[in-house]
Structure 1
Amino acid sequence: MTQTTVREFIPVRIAVLTVSDTRTLAEDKSGDTLVARIADAGHILADRKIIRDDRDDIAAILREWCESKDVDVIISTGGTGLTGRDVTVEAHRDVYEKEIDAFSTVFTIVSMQKIGTSAIQSRATAGVAMGTYLFALPGSTGACKDAWDEILVKQLDYRHMPCNFVEIFPRLEEHKRRK
């Protein structure tokens, strides 16, 4: 007879960044959606900001949060499309040490079930930097719901099996340990 190990939930500290030239906090439905889901899942909102579509400014706040001991995960919303002002993906990649390539694939699969071939226009991405996970989601509320409900709520839950992002937190920076 095998024993099933029951793991206790580990809350994660998550910062939310909305990238927009036009939205204010009062109008940030996608940010509100993420904040509500973070709380409902039992995680901690570490910080929340709105920033304009500027690659250097976005990368600067991502780096600042990655350096903070109070932030484990960063989720940005907005700026992942194809227009000239959409620079969030480039800013994320300026910060990444490693890209989580499969996130884009899984997000596209989830999106295809909801919006069909329009999913091809998303450049959602994810990566790791300085021991912090970073996720860049589209600016639509529906896309934020889909990414959270179908991917992130599970991967940011230590109890999710067979594996999840939380259980490898301690190993994200093992290459920096002295041998």
Structure 2
Amino acid sequence: MNYLKPEFGSSIIIYGTGAVGLSAMMAAKIAGMNHIIVVDLHDNRLALAKKLGATETINSSKEDPAAVVKAILPAGIDYSLDTTGVASVIKQATAVLRPGGKVMLLGLAGDVTFNVQQDIMGESKTVAGVIEGDAIPQLFIPKLIDYYKRGMFPFDQLIKFYKFDDINQAFADSASGDVIKPVIKIGE
């Protein structure tokens, strides 16, 4: 949210519920955003997003995110954030914006083709790449720790610890979407 600096009461859609997407969602809640919509393919991750502060969730394998956003916010959404790096998702993240809206790209992506006039300039949209949250770690990490201590940034709910002997299970749980951030403990 360092780059975005959202206004209180604004709206955001976040594509992807990995550690980055869910952390951004918790930051949106801290910022006081009104609609915090989260999109993913895994119902269990969407349930966690709802528990941690999402106002709406969309399973994109069951619903069209663009249609759901249109029903909730007919004029479009203020901000969208892509953590997937998938070209079709990036295009959708841009299409759901209101005029003047901003999309931030956080996932590593390949080629994405836009009609610049129709998709971006015609409605004065902004497409920006953001690296490492646009943060100064020495300033931002203490702030995150303070939010965590106050119960506002429960990142520990994204982590599951595994013994080194269970490394294959950790990979399987991560691939299935059952775990957001598996952490291997060595020497236990």
TM-score above 0.5: no
- Point out the structure with max Rg over C-alpha: 2
For the aligned pair, the TM-score class normalised by the smaller chain equals: 0.3 to 0.5
Q: Structure 1 length normalisation: TM-score?
A: 0.36
Q: Which has the higher strand share?
A: 2
Q: Structure 2 length normalisation: TM-score?
A: 0.34
Greater RCO (CA < 8 Å, at least 6 residues apart)? 1
